[in-house]
Structure 1
Amino acid sequence: MAHEHTEVTPAECADYLEQIVYFIDNELDEADCSAVRAHLDTCNPCLAKYDLQRTVKQVVARSCSEVAPGDLRAKIMLRLEQVRVEIREA
Structure 2
Amino acid sequence: MSCGKPHETDCSEVLDHLYEFLDREMPDSDCTKFEVHFEECSPCLEKYGLEQAVKKLVKRCCGSDDVPSDLRSKVMGRIDLIRSGQAVPEQDVTLTNAADQPIAKEA
What's the TM-score once normalised by structure 1's chain length? 0.62
The residue number in structure 2 matching 1:88 is none
The percent of aligned pairs where both chains have the same amino acid is: 31
Question: What is the CA deviation profile of residues 25-52 of structure 1, one whole-angstrom value per residue up to 9, with x for unaligned ones?
Answer: 0101011001100100100000000000
Give structure 1 stretches of 5+ with no counterpart.
Answer: 1-5, 80-90
* Structure with greater contact order relative to length (CA < 8 Å, sep ≥ 6): 1
**How big is the shift at 1:19?**
1.6
- Give the unaligned 5+ runs of structure 2: 67-96, 103-107
Aligned to 1:75: 100
The reply to whether residue 51 of structure 1 matches residue 49 of structure 2 is: yes
Pair 1:23–1:65, CA change in 2 (3 A): closer
SS of corresponding position for 1:46: helix
Contact 1:41/1:47 (<8 A) preserved: yes
Residue range with higher mean Cα deviation, 58-67 or 27-36: 58-67
Which one has a larger percent helix, Structure 1 or Structure 2? 1
RMSD, aligned CA = 2.9
Residues 19, 36 of structure 1: 8 Å contact kept: no
User: What residue in structure 2 maps to residue 61 of structure 1?
Assistant: 59
Q: CA–CA distance in 2 between the matches of 1:7 and 1:50? A: 18
Q: State the aligned residue count.
A: 67
- Provide Cα deviations, 1:56-77, integer angstroms capped at 9, x if missing partner: 0111111114658xx92x739x
